[in-house]
Amino acid sequence: MNSKHYYYARMEFEDLRTFVAVAEAGSVSGAARELYVTQSAVTRRLQRLETEIGAPLLDRRTRPVSLTGPGQVVLERCRRLLNDFREVRAAATNGHLPMEEVKIGVGPPSC
């Protein structure tokens, strides 16, 4: 029997997208405007992602917000994942990839 342990996260795609938006905007309010959601929705998504990751990703006490060590790693991976998803969606939309073959795997951050 294979002794590998797999971690299955319950992360929401919008939580990842929101985290990237906050990191790029430098603020929760800026990300909220960009995503057309309320600041409280952005905060909930960030909290949910940080809970799932098990570490704070942003230091919200600074202006603009700054990334923590784990936040820097997660941001890089989120950007790659979002870009990969856009490419997969574009390929599927153009008929180059049947949607039933789309699989995206994400490993835990190495923090």
Annotate 50-70 with three-state secondary structure. HHHHCCCCEECCCCCCEECHH
Give a yes or no: residue 62 inside a domain.
Answer: yes
Per-residue pLDDT of the chain (111 residues; tens, 9 = 90+): 455 655 566 778 899 999 999 999 999 999 999 999 999 999 999 999 999 999 999 998 888 999 999 999 999 999 999 999 888 888 877 776 555 555 666 666 655
CATH number at residue 35: 1.10.10.10
Give a yes or no: residue 8 inside a domain.
Answer: no
Residue type, 4: K
Strands 58-59 and 66-67: antiparallel
Q: Which domain holds residue 17?
A: 13-95
CA 46/CA 37 separation, integer angstroms: 13
Phi, psi of 67 (to 5 degrees): -80, 140
Give a yes or no: residue 106 inside a domain.
Answer: no
CA 50/CA 78 separation, integer angstroms: 13
Q: Looking at residue 108, what DSSP letter applies? A: P
Give a yes or no: residue 54 inside a domain.
Answer: yes
CA 19/CA 53 separation, integer angstroms: 12
Give a yes or no: residue 65 inside a domain.
Answer: yes
Give a yes or no: residue 91 inside a domain.
Answer: yes
pTM, two decimal places:
0.76
| Count of domains observed in the chain | 1
- Tokens representing 33? 């405007």
CA 110/CA 108 separation, integer angstroms: 6
Give a yes or no: residue 79 inside a domain.
Answer: yes
